[in-house]
Structure formats: structure tokens, C-alpha cells
Amino acid sequence: MSDPASPQPDLYPVTERNRVRRAHERGSYAHADVHAILDATPVCHVGYVIDGAPYVTPTLHWRVGNRVYWHGSAASRFLRAAEGARVCLTCTLMDGYVMARSAFSHSVNYRSAMVFGTARRLEGDEAVAGALRDMVEDLFPGRWDTLRPMTAQELKATAVLWMDIEEASAKTRGGPPGDAAEAEVPVWAGVLPMHTVLDAPQGAPELPPGIDLPPGLAALVASGRLR
């Protein structure tokens, strides 16, 4: 029989940093649950400290295995400050407003992930170019090879950071309000579902005639996914 206190290969270790305390039954430390939320969310928020003051920066991200990447300007104070530092990266998807019979019991249905690690800067033009290709292909499969080549100046101006996920947890809520015992109160209760989706494509004003929306982008729009 395995030791219940020993780390499980498909679970992140539970620590004081990532332990879900409130409504702990909604929490998960499973790799699959954390990764699913990271992969479904286009934008993350990275928290870090500069000179003792907290900052949180939104940015696009992508995941390869247990490693999360994000990018920005090579001149960014954020990226320079985060390099080599412990950071916290979070993602959240809103799925609906939960309308209860009292203001106190109102809530939201959501999926969220919080991951911790040490930010590292990717070095070398070839490695950075490969990572940026991964980012574009992760968001828009098949698009990279249709684009004009990246210039040396564009590559020089772009930095890529990464971190291996050391600790992580997911937390979700789904379903109706939890006040069924108050059903006699004459107030509408239920869920207002929320869906963030891609809308109809809008071509650039100067787009020449005959250049149609690529099938890959059309499929992404039709899928209802964000990435």
C-alpha cells in the first residue's frame, strides 16, 4: 500500500502556499485539472514584487508539459523584475452569475487555477523564436508558416519567460445557488450563464480582395473555444 503522505505523480504537492482553505471541496491539485484551465484561458495574470511593492500584469501565456511560458517587451520593467524571482500566475474563466434569494448567498460559477514557480528568461535567438512559434501555433494552429518571417529586430525586442510549475491548485464552482432551503422566498433564483466566445471575424480595412479567412481560424471561431 502506498504512503498517503507521499507525493502522487499526477498531483501537485499540497503546501501552505497552494492549499485551498475556504470551500476546500471545490479545490483540486490534479495536474489534469490545473492544466485544463491554463489551456482554456487565453490571458493569465502574473504577480511579482518590485522593490517591496506588489504588481500584477496580464499577458498571453502557453503551456508545454509542466512548464508555462509568457512573453513581452525585452525592455519591460515587469520582465526584468520577474526574471529569477518567485512568481504567482493565475487564470480564471467566468461561467455564470449565481442569483440567490439573499445578497449574501449570491455567487459566481467559475474555473480558476493558481500556479507558483521561479521565472526564468529564455536565452538564445533560436530558442526564443521557437517559443514564439509555439505560442502562435498553440493559439492558432497552422498560422505560423503563413506569416512573413520575423525580423532580427523584432526578435531582439521580444523576451520570453518561463517557469516550471512547482505548486498549483485549481478551484471551481458550478451549479445552482445553494439556498434551496429558502425556496419559499418569492424571489427569482438561478444562474445567468456566461460564455466568452470569438465573434464574427472582421478583416483589416486594407485587406486585398481574394484573401479569405483561413480554414483554421474559421474552425476556431466555429468551435466556441477561445484557444
3 within some domain: no
88 within some domain: yes
64 within some domain: yes
125 within some domain: yes
54-81 b/e (C-beta count within 10 Å ≥ 16 → b): eeebebbbbbeebebbbbbeeebebbeb
**Long-range pairs, 219-225, Cβ under 8 A, ≥24:** 220/140, 224/195, 224/197, 225/40
- pLDDT value for 7: 52
pTM for this predicted structure: 0.88
Q: Which residues contact 192 (CB under 8 A, 6 or more apart)?
A: 96, 97, 99
Give the mean pLDDT of the chain: 91
101 within some domain: yes
What gap in Å lies between CA 50 and CA 88, rounded to an integer? 14
Provide the number of structural domains found in the chain: 1
Residue 91 belongs to domain spanning: 24-191
31 within some domain: yes
- pLDDT classification of 78: cutoffs 50, 70, 90: confident
Nearest to 90 by CA among 115, 69, 65: 115
Where on the phi/psi map is residue 200: left (φ > 0), alpha (ψ -120 to 50), or beta?
A: beta
- pLDDT classification of 33: cutoffs 50, 70, 90: very high
Enumerate helices (H) and strands (E) in the chain, giving the number of each.
5, 10
CB 161 within 8 A of CB 69: yes
62 within some domain: yes
- pLDDT value for 3: 38
The angle subtended at Cα 42 by Cα 8 and Cα 96, nearest 5°, is 85
161 within some domain: yes
Give the single-character DSSP code of 12. Answer: P
Question: What CATH number does residue 70 fall under?
Answer: 2.30.110.10
Where on the phi/psi map is residue 207: left (φ > 0), alpha (ψ -120 to 50), or beta?
A: beta
CB 96 within 8 A of CB 193: yes
Nearest to 65 by CA among 38, 28, 43: 38
Place of cell 490571458: 43
pLDDT in tens, 110-132: 999 999 999 999 999 999 999 99
